[in-house]
Amino acid sequence: MITYFLSFAASIIQVLYIPILSVYALEIGIKTHEIGFISGIAALTYALTAPFSHLSTGKIGEKWTIAYSLALLSISCALLIFAREIISLTLVVIFTLFAYAVFWPALESLISREGGSVSSFATSWSSGALVASLLTGPLMAVPKAPLFAALSLFSGVLSLISLRLKGGKKAVDLPRVEDLIKGLKDIPEAWAWAFSYAIFQGALYTFYPVVIELRKLPEWYASLAFFLMVGARTLIFSIKEKLPRILHSLYSGLALLSSGILLSIVHNPFLIAILSTLFGAGIGILYAESLSRAFSSKFEKRSAYTGLFESSVGFGYMVGPIVAGLISTLCLEAAIPAAAITSILIACIPWSRLCKSSKNS
């Protein structure tokens, strides 16, 4: 139960972090394309670190890896109070994403090793995102220094709670680099789907608050969109095994996700609610199918596969904000649609067929 609670609580911080950071960046005079760059370069750190996070779990065990990463997260949230320009803010955000890149694979590996399910894990962290979504709108308007201090304190408490996890300093088996390469070749579509959903979601969390702030829209629109998106995603996770076969399809997920193209140009709350529910369900399908394939890998390769999964998500969170940020210099309302279209195109590429062709050649 502690593992699922940590998943729930850490997700609250992570989901709040991105939109609040975007609003804070606007407040200190950072431009929209620079916001995309900050989010993208930090996510690159996540993507490059996650596949090798098993080096930590292999030496000190999952329990201590989780505890130390949450302590790092606490420090990084505190440092945000002093970041007042683009370079210092970028460095702090990189530090934060490094902590998460170590935390999530270790937690996923521990849950998997203890016999946990994809649905329970996904529901726990997505429920945390649901809570954070309700808080996003109100917190966009509050002073940021005390908010960052509160997030730092909360992360520190989570680090102490993680010391109650079982396992002590028992090390887990280290996967080889060959396992990472084999994982990339064996189920490339799983990593593409994770990459795809994260492109859209990274752009959404980064730039929808920016659209709201610069277009003077009600701040509660952010809570509305994020809450219904995460709610639909959580519902998909919770009933995954009961879904009809058609809703396990990549194309069903992408068709639902494509509704996000309209979000930034729609200002009616009822339409925002409908669109958010639709693309939330699409994200849920892509995420659940991708993680299911990672969790179905052989036990000895599990930590390598969860690292690959998180790395794919990290690369998506890198590409999405950068694409959206570049497009925002031409038209702010086109930023999120551009990321959504990129997401769809990436997922539609027949990755398995391409890998088989390269092997045959």
Mean pLDDT score across all residues of the chain: 87
Check residue 248 and give its pLDDT: 72
Q: Give residue-wise pLDDT tens across range 101-150.
A: 899 888 887 887 777 776 678 778 878 988 999 999 999 999 999 999 99
Check residue 110 and give its pLDDT: 84
Check residue 351 and give its pLDDT: 75
CA Rg value for the chain: 19
Q: Give residue-wise pLDDT tens across range 152-210.
A: 999 999 999 999 987 555 545 555 667 667 767 777 888 899 999 999 999 999 999 99
Check residue 113 and give its pLDDT: 74
Q: Give residue-wise pLDDT tens across range 296-325.
A: 655 555 667 777 887 888 899 999 999 999
User: What residue has token string 């005079």?
Assistant: 29
Residue ranges in the chain assigned as alpha helix (H): 2-27, 32-49, 54-79, 86-113, 118-140, 144-161, 177-186, 188-214, 220-238, 250-257, 269-295, 302-328, 335-348, 351-360
Check residue 301 and give its pLDDT: 59
Check residue 177 and give its pLDDT: 66
Of the chain, the percentage scoring pLDDT greater than 90 comes to 60
Asked if residue 218 has pLDDT above 80, the reply is yes
What does the alpha-carbon distance between residue 297 and residue 338 come to, in Å, rounded to a whole number? Answer: 34
DSSP string, 190-239: HHHHHHHHHHHHHHHHHHHHHHHHHTT--THHHHHHHHHHHHHHHHHHHT
Check residue 360 and give its pLDDT: 58
Select the more confidently predicted residue: 108 or 271: 271
For residues 20-27, average pLDDT = 96
Select the more confidently predicted residue: 243 or 344: 344
What does the alpha-carbon distance between residue 53 and residue 179 come to, in Å, rounded to a whole number? Answer: 14
For residues 47-75, average pLDDT = 85
pTM of the model: 0.87
The half-sphere exposure of 51 on its side-chain side, counting CA atoms within 13 A, is 19
For residues 94 and 42, is the Cβ–Cβ distance under 8 A?
yes
Q: Give residue-wise pLDDT tens across range 314-360.
A: 899 999 999 999 999 999 999 999 999 999 999 998 876 766 665 55
For residues 286 and 315, is the Cβ–Cβ distance under 8 A?
no
What does the alpha-carbon distance between residue 169 and residue 59 come to, in Å, rounded to a whole number? Answer: 8
Short-list 241, 263, 243, CA closest to 253: 243
Distances from the Cα of 298 to the Cαs of 6, 57, 88, 179, in angstroms? 25, 18, 42, 11
